[in-house]
Structure formats: structure tokens, C-alpha cells
A and B are shown apart, each in its own frame.
Chain A
Amino acid sequence: MSTLEIRNLQVSVDTDNGTVEILKGVDLTIKSGETHAIMGPNGSGKSTLAYSIAGHPKYTITGGSVTLDGVDVLEMTVDERAKAGLFLAMQYPVEVPGVSVSNFLRTAATALRGEAPKLRTWVGEVKDAMEALNMDPSFATRNVNEGFSGGEKKRHEIMQLELLKPKMAILDETDSGLDVDALRIVSEGVNRAKAANNLGVILITHYTRILRYIQPDFVHVFANGRVVEQGGPELAEKLEANGYADYVSK
């Protein structure tokens, strides 16, 4: 049982026009097995929350805390956060030219498990994970994210989620750019990871569509850098009907 606690998190970013405060005090508590949907209009700071927890160097933490089972996450390097059990499925996964998917996955698994996975079982593991997400076997020999379609990038992210078995996952707009079939396949992957590892999930999305496939326990509405309303799944239905207009004007 793990708990990710975000307390009064304040984050700013340096731009050409000076320092801009983006997160203005975010409080969230996520426990193993729980799924928290974070919904909000564009520019409300949802992605900043995701990248700040993962440790992207672009963001400066100006206040508050993030802990995983009481251990300070903000003091950790990016790779240490992954080793502690955090995972970020990115909205725009970057290309890494010349590095094959299979080499990348094996390097990551070796780093996270502390030893190289046994080749025989590993090959099977990767094959199963790819099949489960309807990915062609040739995928393993392609370079990381290079020339991937939007859907392939997202499948690749969720394949990593299943293979690397984190405790807590942040899914940053994993639904964006997916057609209905791909959305279903990717969502099934998330649900498998939840079931297999009692995964805690922060599901960042703009739309309610993905919530038909991945059932949230809690819904948080994000606007102007903070959580402005919280509730159960019924809150998502209200957003579906009314949009974010009520929150943006506040």
C-alpha cells in the first residue's frame, strides 16, 4: 500500500517574459488502487503538475511538498523518482534517434529492477506486452518514438507502464489523439496495470471520453493552477454537460 501526497505545491517556470507562477498550491492524496481524474481547461496547469512530480528541469518548485510513503520526492533526481515507483506517461513522448525500443526497454528494466532481466523471460515479457496492446513485433526494432504515429506513441507509453510496474502512474492526456479503437486498447492496458500491481493513477484529461473506459474513483477540477472542485465520478458527468465555463470565469 503506497500513498502519494501532494501538499500546497507551488511551481513556476521561467519564460522570456520572466518567471510565471503556474501551480498556486495543489493538494492531492492518491493511494494504491485509486484512480484520480484531473480535469480542466487548457492552460490550467495539469501538465505542469505531471512534469513537476516527475522532476522535469524546466519547472521550479517554489513551495509545498510531494512525498511517496513519507519520502520526499522533490529531493530525488528524475531517475530516482522512477526507481521509487513513479511513472509518467507523456503526452508528447520524445524521439531518441538510434536507440531501439527493445534496447531502451531492457535498459530501463535493468535500472528499475537493479539487475538485467533474464533474456529468456524478458523476450517473452516484451512480446506479451506488445501483443496485449496490438503492436506489431517489428515495433521492438524501431527507434524510440521515431516516426511513431500519435497512437503508437501512446501504446508505447502504456506498454512501458505494464512492463516497468510502477506504484503510481501519472497519465498526461494519454487519450489525446487516439481514435476509439486505440483509446479502448490503451485503456485496457491501464486497467490491466491497475489490476496487476494495485496501481495508483492520476489521469489527466481534458475530455470525459476516456473515463468511460477507465473508471475514476475521484474527479478533481483544475483551474488556474489549483484544484477548484472535487467529487466522485458524477462530477465528470456534470463537466460533460456544462464544460469548464463555470470554473474559468472564477
Chain B
Amino acid sequence: MSVLTTNYLTPTGREEAWRFTPLKRLRGLHDGVAVQSDRESLITKGALPSGVSFTRENLEPLASSDDVIIERVRGAATSVAHLAIAPNTEVAEPIFLGRSAGALDTAEFSRVRITLGTHAVATVIVENTTDTVLAEDLEIYCAPGSNLKFVTLQEFESKSVYTARHHAVVDKDATFKSITVTVGGDVVRILPTVEFKAPGASADLLGVYFATAGQFFEHRMHVDHAVPHAKSNVNYKGALAGKDAHTVWIGDVLIRAAAEGTDTYELNRNLLLSDGARADSVPNLEIETGEIIGAGHASTTGRFDDEQLFYLMSRGIAMADARRLVVRGFFNEIVSEIGNEEVQNRIMDRIDAELEKAAHNG
């Protein structure tokens, strides 16, 4: 173990990127106070199918980052956990990754790479569990014609702090779909970012989050359309219940001058289930060319729809069950995209439990 050097610019909270984040609760990840552990907790679960490898390597970053925690991770991590799917490999079953260990008194600085070879097809599901302090620099490369479904499940215990950048580089005619589920932890801050390498690339960034009393969950997208004829779609749905539950969703989409023929849409919907919770939602579309197919965004934050509850209750369904149905329905659109029944049921059960917990705490 070693104490990190502090020759990085420490955010003060006044910066645009940090203005919502409760820096004091980051357990020193941002200012170098955190004590680095030698944990390398990322593991694969179950046997790897042929054409898939998981190794520790020295790899240069795919893309630069101006995020101070990512810089710290790059300075601190000694190797990169690398999941590689060989070209032309089609993996039918999901590949599961998980965290084998965690601790709250030391911080893990983790670099992860996922590489899809040309025309490879795979689903990767990362299960983030335990009580831990984890800063993660996760980069993905989707080679031409490949197709990746990338699912991350933030099911941390209640004291965890997790900050991460999930950066995907999507090459010609490749398809990237991420599904980000955040239901556990004290502070979770994820930067799902995408850059397109060549025309024909597409990215779907989907997510759900459910914050209860005191939890802070931030999802800060950045989609960079720098090449022509790429397509992106962002859809995040969140629910909040309980005092000082706080979520932040930032959707930055940049369409550069060269990105003619871009098609993009981003949507964020929040369901406020009690007083005292706060949902910040900031879509931000920057367009440098008019030669596009479409660009739009929408953001809504609302409470339970009384008409929906009335309709369900008029069929004999009790209030609590009606609320549960509506919340499940709200999240189902995205959770069902995971495509793995066991995981979907577990997430839905967790959402039920969060809702119940919130109801008991008023």
C-alpha cells in the first residue's frame, strides 16, 4: 500500500463537471487522501468460452481523459484487466465479470479493457457488489462490424463509493449498447462516454437508477459525434425516494462539423416518489452542422400518475401493489433489454425492496 502523490488538480466543486458531486463523501478519491490498496478485484465468473480471454496486461489508454480521478487511476494502477473477444467470435451466453473483494478503509484503482475483435458478438455483464471504495477506468473498443452489449450492475452495499468512466470507442459499422443499472452504494458517479471512429457506428446508452434516502447517484454521458453517419440513442430512467436521495443525469451530445448524417436522441425520465428527494437532469445538445438526420432530447421529472394508480386500484389492486406495478413498469422498458432473466428478476426484486424500504421510512 502507498499514499498517492498529490500532483493532480484537485476539484473544488466549482467546476462544471463536479458541481453536483458531494466531494466530501468521495473518501479521498478526488484529492489523493485515499490510501491505495493492492486489490485487483475484477474476476471472471464461470469458465470463459473459446475465443474469449481474460488477462492482466500493460496497455496504453485508448483515449485521454480530463477527469482527475481517471488520471489518478492511470497513475496508480499497475496493470489492466483485459477481456478480449477474438475476431469473428459469437458468444451466445453472457460473460460475467465481478468484484471478488472490497474494503472501505483503502481504495482500489482499477483499469479495465474490453476488446471486441472484428465481427465479434458478445454480452458482458459486470456485477459490482461488496462494500468498497473503487475508482475505475474502463475502456471498450468495438472493432469494425462487432456488436457488444455491455451491462454494468451497481449493486454495492450501502457505504460504497464508486467513481468510473466507461468509455467506448466504436469503429465502423459496430454496434455498442450499454445498460447501466445503479441501485446500491453511498456515492456512485459514472461517466458513460462514447466516441465514434468511423461511419456506420451506433451506440445505445441505456440506464436505470433508484436512489433512496441519502444516496447520491450521478450519470454523466458524453457522446462525441466526430464522424459522419453514426447513430446514438440515450435513455435513462430514475426513481428517487426518501430524504436527500439525489440523482444527477447529464446528457452531453456533441455533433461536430464533420458529423454529417448524425442521428441522435436522448431522454431522461425521473420519478419522484417522495418529498425531500432531488433529481437534476441536464440534457445538452451541441450541434456544429445542420446536415443531420435528427437530433433531439427530452427530460421529464414527475410524481406518480394518479390516473394510473386509480385505474389499477379500481381493479382491486391495493395502493402499495399499484405503486409497485407502476414502478416496475417504468423500469421494465430498460431492464428487459438486459436479456438475462435471472439478472432481470434480481434487479426488479431489488427495486421492489428499495420501494418497500422507502415506504417504511416515509
Contacts and interface: CB of A to CB of B under 8 A. Distances in A.
A200 B331 CA distance: 39
B313 interface: yes
Contact of B316 (A57, A79, A99, A103): A79
A204 B271 CA distance: 35
B297 interface: no
Interface residues of A, number: 31
Contacts of A134: none
B280 interface: no
A79 B333 CA distance: 27
Interface string A3-22: 00000000000000000000
Contact of A98 (B305, B318, B319, B328): B328
A94 B328 CA distance: 17
A160 B329 contact: no
Interface in A99-156: 99, 103-104, 107-108, 111-112, 143-144
A228 interface: no
B325 A88 contact: no
A74 interface: no
Contact of B329 (A58, A96, A164): A96
Contacts of B308: 94-96
A202 to B, nearest CB: 15
User: Do most interface residues of chain B lie in helix, strand or loop, or is the interface mixed?
Assistant: helix
Interface residues on B, range: 20 to 34
Contacts of A56: 310
Given A56-B310, A93-B311, A143 B316 contact: no
Interface in B300-355: 305-308, 310-319, 321-322, 325-326, 328-333
A43 interface: no
Contacts of A58: 306
User: Do most interface residues of chain A lie in helix, strand or loop, or is the interface mixed?
Assistant: mixed
Contacts of A88: 314
A82 B325 contact: no
Contacts of A87: 314
Contact of A111 (B306, B315, B329, B332): B315
- Of B311, B312, B315, B332, most buried by chain A (CB within 10 Å of CB) is B315
B329 A107 contact: no
A119 B314 CA distance: 23
8 interchain residue pairs of minimum CB distance: A98-B329, A98-B332, A82-B316, A108-B315, A78-B313, A99-B329, A111-B316, A112-B316
Interface of B: 305-308, 310-319, 321-322, 325-326, 328-333
Given A78-B313, A79-B318, A93-B311, 5 more contacts: A79-B316, A95-B308, A97-B330, A98-B331, A108-B317
26 contacts: A54-B310, A55-B310, A56-B310, A58-B306, A77-B313, A81-B314, A82-B313, A87-B314, A88-B314, A93-B311, A94-B305, A94-B310, A94-B311, A96-B312, A97-B330, A98-B329, A98-B330, A98-B332, A98-B333, A99-B328, A107-B312, A107-B321, A108-B312, A111-B318, A112-B315, A143-B329
